[in-house]
Structure 1
């Protein structure tokens, strides 16, 4: 599972990083550049280097030459998988999708609500695509029930997701300093900037006090952090409290809950992993192209 999962993560990240969308309208002037609706005028240079201009047209021609075929193939792959999955009624459990999104979230740093929502949309599409592709590639492979049960018995914990907290903190020497920081936070000051200014924690202050994600957080977090954070709402800071010799102010970015699977819930996905391993198939949608009539310009 670990090998297949890591491969899947790599696929997700590659698609997420490469698939920047570039559209142009019929008048050839007003261009939507990316998913954030950034607009440019296609009549103007897209870059100027030492007085030399790079035109929008030259940029588009280079993209078509270097990435046009690969991007079109990815679009065809997606369409093939979607059509065949609908035809065969292959649906992916919302619980499985939530687990995958949670895992990907823990690999990120601090994200705003808007960034989180955007990532979730992108990840969701990629997760569904990857799992449907796996199901299609292994639909004719038989795995004995006993083998699936034994695998679940040995490795079921790796399918579960443990509750995680994403935290930042500011450590100050006394309550007087802490109250000053709290007042500035209440007035709208940035937690990250205040951490760089006030925090005594040399390991995290330059990162805005960022601590990261914690799974077994009661074991690794400083005194009082786990108890306080467990009662907080996401994207809020906590009133200062004593932690060891100092005073701490913590900020909870994300709180991700436990996700656990029964055998019946995870059985189809274990079967697909074992089937992929048995057939030595990679998650390559090109293996499905013969199932539909595909006509494309690069053929």
Structure 2
């Protein structure tokens, strides 16, 4: 079951905006033809446009944190650090990891906060699931194909608009002590250019465009390909590593097995739990500027008092917003944030 990141992500991002701005001490933020734009003016405009969603996001975050604190569960900080480290390794380098965060409009602190909220909500949804060794081993046997890692590769690319340019850059890459990453940053037109051409480690079957797959697999580690025509452009590839397919043992896959088992056995979907927590919360929005937001939370209060029980209907979103995805609490972002994988890679 996927993590309910679509509303948590944007709520955290919006809540970070005033912190970033207030962290800058200068009263002036810009000059336009000599006319000063003051920080107070920016903050006023920011609150006017985003005050409601930001406040709603802060409330929703607080509801999750309070519910987790009441549960008596202990947050596994080491597991959070492990997830972040795995993301670093998947990116291929620290620079690539930071660039992916930046592309998604994040920094590491913001990303860490999002992951923490995701994990806490998931732990709440799964806190009553009973896990035994026997049940996990049986689940592994029933789902053994899930725990087979396909053949994977890690590589970098330099994408250029013409064959002549690709041939010229290929000659530069062939020189002693040439840096493929530096050449990618200087010449590539793909979004991976910002990461020195580095692509995330991926399954062979997922390599796109298909035209680069066979030439890439013929390379030896650290070798550089000749120019390859693909997707209306020309690509030069450097193979870093080729990882063979592997069937994970139960012990190797235990963490994945337990996560899958809990997700399958949890009594309530995670997003549905988030909605229930929202509907059960008592919220008072005291600033009259956000009266509409108060009415939404008052609707949740009325639901609790009405016959038929809690959470029968979700509070409506802010005026003009799209309806959040099924199960997302009020205050969910109307749209997804950009994916972590940069668009514009070779297709």
Give the structure-1-normalised TM-score.
0.55
User: What TM-score do the two structures reach when normalised by structure 2?
Assistant: 0.50
Cα pair distance change 1:283/1:241, threshold 3 Å? same
| Paired residues of 2:16 and 2:110 also in contact (CA < 8 A) | no
Q: 1:279 to 1:149 in 2, by over 3 A?
A: farther
Distance 1:62 1:113 in 2: 34
| Structure 1 partner of 2:171 | 179
Q: Secondary structure at the match of 1:33?
A: helix
- Give yes or no for contact 1:167–1:251 (8 Å, CA) kept in 2: yes
1:59 and 2:45 correspond: yes
The structural deviation recorded for 1:82 is 5.5
Deviation at 1:273, TM superposition (A): 0.9
* Cross-structure match for 1:165: 154
Alpha-carbon distance between aligned partners in 2 of 1:126 and 1:297, rounded to the nearest angstrom? 24
Structure 2 gap segments, 5+ residues each: 287-293, 295-347
Contact in 2 for aligned 1:164/1:256 (Cα 8 Å):
yes
Matches within 5 A, 1:89-108: 89-91=74-76, 93=79, 97=83, 101=87
TM-superposed deviation, 1:10: 3.0
Q: 2:262 aligns with which of 272, 279, 293?
A: 272
- Equivalent of 2:237, from 250, 264, 269? 250
- The structural deviation recorded for 1:76 is 0.8
Between the aligned partners of 1:290 and 1:102, the Cα distance in structure 2 is: 37
Match of 1:115 among 83, 99, 116: 99
Counterpart CA distance in 2 for 1:121 and 1:156 is 36
The residue that corresponds to 2:340 in the other structure is none
Distance 1:274 1:188 in 2: 42
Residue in structure 2 matching 1:14, options 10, 23, 30: 10
Q: Are 2:216 and 1:225 equivalent residues in the alignment?
A: yes
Higher relative contact order (CA 8 A, sep 6+): 2
* Structure 1 residues 168 and 105: CA distance shift in structure 2, 3 A: same
SS at match of 2:17: coil
Could you tell me how far apart the structure 2 residues matched to 1:157 and 1:103 are?
A: 24
Find the aligned partners of 1:158 and 1:124 in 2 and give their Cα distance.
28
Structure 1 pair 155–283 and aligned structure 2 pair: CA distance change class (3 A): farther
Q: Kindly report the root-mean-square deviation, in angstroms, between the aligned alpha carbons of the 2 structures.
A: 5.6
